[in-house]
Amino acid sequence: MSKEEIGSYYRFYGARHSILKLGHLIDFEIDDTDRRYLPRLRSLSHMGFPWLFDHNRVLIWHNFIRLFKPHLQDAQALEPFYFELLLEYAKKWHKQNPKRLVCEAYISLLEFEGRVYNQSRCYICNQPTNDSISLIRGLKQVHPECVYSPTLYKIKFERFFELQKTLYMEESEVEIIYDVVMKGL
């Protein structure tokens, strides 16, 4: 992914070491001299972040970034928002619990795409929700009885939505939201 597009490139693994991994920020040139094949990446250089040697942070980064491909696959041209969002979060990925950052980044994405569902009504049955809610894809509120999934306090969830920060949420609540995001953007 670059600012304007998601590219599929062929990486020539001639070298014994491979530095290209999913979700790494790289600087490259594209070699498309042979049109029969996917363009090759040339002059690859890797832009490092301090968290790249932290296994858990890298894992959560991969889990997050892999959601973008299915989400954006039909987009011909990309808004710079997506690249900038990922860059912004990559820069602070080592500073906070990355699952919290995933939740916060996702709110920005929903807002950017005009998909915020901030109604206190169940998305499934359209009746008002109560103090305890569950969430479905897109962080839409539903009754716990209408789906089979973990519950959250509505008041805390709505605060998270409003502040776009997970500051007041317990780790267990962050886990619940993170798991919903992992179902797809």
Residues of this chain that bind Zn ion (CB under 5 A)? 122, 124-125, 143, 146
Q: Please, what is the minimum distance in Å from the beta carbon of residue 170 to Zn ion?
A: 24
Select the residue whose beta carbon is closest to Zn ion and give its number: 122
Q: Please, what is the minimum distance in Å from the beta carbon of residue 144 to Zn ion?
A: 9
Q: Output 22 or 125, the one with its CB closest to Zn ion.
A: 125
In a 3-state reduction of DSSP, which class is residue 33? coil
What DSSP assignment string belongs to 62-113? HHHHTTHHHHHTT-SS--HHHHHHHHHHHHHTTTS-HHHHHHHHHHHHHHHT
Q: Output 75 or 125, the one with its CB closest to Zn ion.
A: 125
Q: Output 78 or 124, the one with its CB closest to Zn ion.
A: 124
Give the integer Cα–Cα distance in Å for 23 and 138.
Answer: 22
Give the integer Cα–Cα distance in Å for 6 and 48.
Answer: 21
Q: Please, what is the minimum distance in Å from the beta carbon of residue 120 to Zn ion?
A: 12
